[in-house]
Amino acid sequence: MHPKVSVLIPVYNAASFLEATIRSVLNQTFSDFELILLNDFSQDNSEQIISEFDDDRIRYYKNERNLGIAPTRNKLIDFSKGEYLAVLDNDDIMKPDRLEKQVRYLDEHQDVSVVGSYFELFDSKQKNFFRRFALLFGLVWCHPKFPTLEDALKGMVLTLSTSMMRKKDLIENRIRYNGDYSPAEDYDLLKQALFKGLKLANMPEVLTFYNLHGDNCSIKQKDQMAASTNKIQQEISVFLKKPFKKYPRWKLIVKKMRLRFFI
């Protein structure tokens, strides 16, 4: 019998963070899931860390050579058996009730193909400004409740590492990660979903903690990220037949952030 959810984690040189990430999945209040980890030819001891977990829900694979993030994410989808796909990066943390809440949401909203959530930033190395700021105020990244293409024209409208996707909607619409847009391949996948008329949603609560440690691919590859993002926004602009207006990054950040006191 197939699990309800497949949790998909691409692994690459994540030894410093991987144990905590895996534990956050295994400690979920919702238990009908498989955890699939695909090692993209890591050069550290990520494989050893994974091997130390003894849980029948874990399925482990490894690439014979480094393929990159987009092909690895696609292989994870191909390996999956679940009705829903929960995406998680190899250095982020799920809140214990994330799967339970997102499964309930998709079960109750059959018209929604992808549901994300707010996420909270933290810095596991405790060397980042955001970490100190978050400790004082609580830093939460927010997205629109029901994102549209017009929203996507201004930037990311849903963070895939916080999301759960309806697998059949991806398959039926032939939506795949495209390496030509890396490291913004997740933004492109959302663009494809919106082009196909699929409905996206965001739950207005924090269900994932995003690790802002400085080694993140998207942080190290700033120029490539900017170029890929600009390309996607240009394509959305053409699709909508609307002129593309480049928004200053600081304005988008301020718009997406919500500050609250830690309780």
Query: Alpha helix locations (H) across the chain?
Result: 18-26, 46-51, 69-79, 98-108, 129-137, 149-152, 167-172, 185-195, 217-220, 222-240, 249-256
Quick one: pLDDT at residue 144? 82
Q: Summarize pLDDT for 211-220 with one digit per residue, the tens.
A: 876 565 555 5
Separation CA 259–CA 136 (nearest Å): 10
Residue 99's CB is within 10 A of a number of other CB atoms, namely 24
Instruction: Say which CATH number the domain at 240 has.
Output: 3.90.550.10
Contact 107, 129 (CB under 8 A): no
Contact 118, 201 (CB under 8 A): no
Expressed as residue numbers, the domain containing 195 is 5-259
Q: Summarize pLDDT for 245-256 with one digit per residue, the tens.
A: 665 443 444 444
Q: Summarize pLDDT for 170-188 with one digit per residue, the tens.
A: 999 999 999 999 999 999 9
Total domains in the chain come to 1
Contact 59, 35 (CB under 8 A): yes
Cα dihedral 15, 16, 17, 18, rounded to 10, equals: 20
